[in-house]
Amino acid sequence: MEPWATSDQVWQGALIFSRIGAVLLMLPGVGESYVSPRIRLSLALVVSLALWPVIAGALPALPATVGGMAGWIIREVIVGLMIGALLRSFLTALATAGEIVALQTTLAFAQTANPMQVQPGSTIGAFLMLLGTTMIFATNTHHLFIAGLVGSYELIRPVGPLLTGDFASLAIRTVGDAFMLGVQLSAPLLVFALIFNLASGLVGRVMPSFQVFFAAAPLSILLGLSVFALSLGVVGTVFIDRYRALANVFVGGAGG
């Protein structure tokens, strides 16, 4: 290696850093607000240097004008933000499941700071979001992110057209699948709440003088959390399988 970099090498490094830095800005775990920006920028720089020999051949040549350079940089940043937003949006499945569980266990009013969403949310929703992020790193799913970065240069080539229509369709389908998955993950609590509320209403009709609410409220919390705890393993397994399938969409580009 030479002790200096040519203009073409600096240009290639800037393009790679633009896309990878934008992706890491949105990735679960790495792109959270509580992670220091210096750590994220350092990680983006290291990953860019590591992937440089692999994807340098797919990059366009150095433009002759400053406007052309700015256009390419902005394009790569937009592509990176689109990919990162797609991977992050699937985490809304756990947020949806947490809100539904909180509603069914009468714990929706117990709001807490959710570090994954930078806004208050239900305690169960915050717990599931943290669980999902932990599962991503515990199962080495974050390794798929690195492979997906390489695959993204096959799916969305820098010298090719920006497929905004295809991405919009994929984003809409991903958000819809995430919402459906959230409802499916909370299905045990929905079934429990239906049976429990029907039983409480039946007791209230049979025994009008009995204070059903005072007996049903603590039982709803106790039994609901018990059902939630029993189904937690299945929730984590199903979510991480679906999330790995989404990440493999970009990894497939590397394999192709």
Report the run of H or E that residue 121 belongs to, with start and end.
strand 119-122
Q: Which two structure tokens, joined as six digits, stand for 228? A: 């939630």
| pTM, to two decimals | 0.79
pLDDT tens-digit series, residues 176-206: 999 999 999 999 999 998 998 888 888 888 8
pLDDT tens-digit series, residues 110-142: 666 666 555 667 788 888 888 888 888 888 888
β-strands 111-114, 119-122: how paired?
antiparallel
Confidence at 5, pLDDT banded by 50, 70, 90: low
Q: Where are the domains of the chain?
A: 7-255
pLDDT at 239: 92
Q: Which two structure tokens, joined as six digits, stand for 234? A: 């299945």
Task: Decide if 19 contacts 152 (C-beta within 8 A).
Answer: yes
Confidence at 256, pLDDT banded by 50, 70, 90: very low
